Amino acid sequence: MKNSSNIDRRHFVKLGTLAASATLLPSASRAAETAAAPYSLPPLPFAAEALEPHIDAKTMEIHHGKHHQAYITNLNTALAAAPQKVGGQPLQSLLADLSSVSDEALRTTVRNNGGGHWNHDFFWKSLSPADKSGKPSAELAKAIDAAFGSFDEFKKAFAASATKNFGSGWTWLVSQDGKLKITSTPNQDNPLMKGVVKENGTPLLGLDTWEHAYYLHYQNRRPDYIAAFWNVVNWQAVSGRFKA
């Protein structure tokens, strides 16, 4: 006669092994899905509340966790459906040469959602808590004076462009052959997109003028949002881009 305690023990081990396997399957599946998705949401380089009172925490949480994530999700979904139509280019190179995307519908998705991902990642890195905002490097300050007359005149010109940017879009400080210029783009376009936007250049600073970037706190007062923006510009990052 078999020892019932041994049978119970073996039965318990078997059930435990099956349960462990069942637990691992979803995790493995999630890992595979994560590995298959080429883009993921990068964390904010500061706490959501770190830019207050200039940009509120709730806006940052929704803007980053909902809006930015949606662009990434849509981009990954489109690329997974037609990977052979894109090739293995980095996102910045892809946006700079959208004509390399053979399918028109996919090209539009990459432009809108790839642009949305790149623009927002760039935007977060352009911001800093007010006490760490700093000021332009000597080289950047000199270039700003040469292009706009003074730093104050640059801020006025940038704010005017951002205020007049109709509907949803972005306003940029770019470098064109070593000279600085202010330009605005609609939707999620940016100055990298050759053959798509009127003014190309290397982005140094970008301001999101979509309503979701400011409406919870500033409602329809875009000029107030723009004025507050200057308190949280990461000038070390902007100066580094100019130097590079």
- 56 in a known ligand binding site: no
Delineate the domains of the chain, giving CATH numbers in brackets.
57-125 (1.10.287.990), 130-243 (3.55.40.20)
pLDDT at 87 over 50: yes
In tens, the pLDDT along 64-78 reads 999 999 999 999 999
Residue 208's DSSP bridge partners are 170
In tens, the pLDDT along 43-59 reads 999 999 999 999 999 99
Share of the chain above pLDDT 90, in %: 77
| Banded pLDDT at 178 (limits 50, 70, 90) | confident
Section 108-113 average pLDDT: 96
Section 83-96 average pLDDT: 79
The secondary structure of 2-18, three-state, reads CCHHHHHHHHHHHHHHH
Section 163-178 average pLDDT: 95
| Banded pLDDT at 88 (limits 50, 70, 90) | low
Share of the chain above pLDDT 70, in %: 83
pLDDT value, residue 216:
96
Q: Quote the CA–CA distance of 235 and 216 in Å, as a whole number.
A: 26
Q: Quote the CA–CA distance of 124 and 121 in Å, as a whole number.
A: 5
Section 203-207 average pLDDT: 98
Q: What does DSSP assign to residue 110?
A: I
Section 81-86 average pLDDT: 71
pLDDT value, residue 240:
98
- 120 in a known ligand binding site: yes
pLDDT at 149 over 90: yes
pLDDT value, residue 35:
43
Q: Which residues contact 32 (CB under 8 A, 6 or more apart)?
A: none
- 212 in a known ligand binding site: yes
93-102, 178-187, 228-237: range with lowest mean pLDDT = 93-102
| Banded pLDDT at 28 (limits 50, 70, 90) | very low
pLDDT value, residue 4:
45
- 68 in a known ligand binding site: no
| Banded pLDDT at 235 (limits 50, 70, 90) | very high
Give backbone dihedrals phi and psi of 170, rounded to 5 degrees, phi first: -140, 150
CA neighbor of 70 nearest in space, from 60, 62, 82, 80: 62
Average pLDDT over the chain, rounded to an integer: 87
- Contact predicate 229/242, CB 8 Å: no
CA neighbor of 92 nearest in space, from 13, 39, 170, 19: 39
Q: Quote the CA–CA distance of 71 and 113 in Å, as a whole number.
A: 5
pLDDT at 33 over 70: no
DSSP alpha helix (H) spans, the chain: 4-36, 57-62, 69-81, 91-96, 104-109, 115-125, 138-148, 151-164, 215-218, 222-229, 235-243
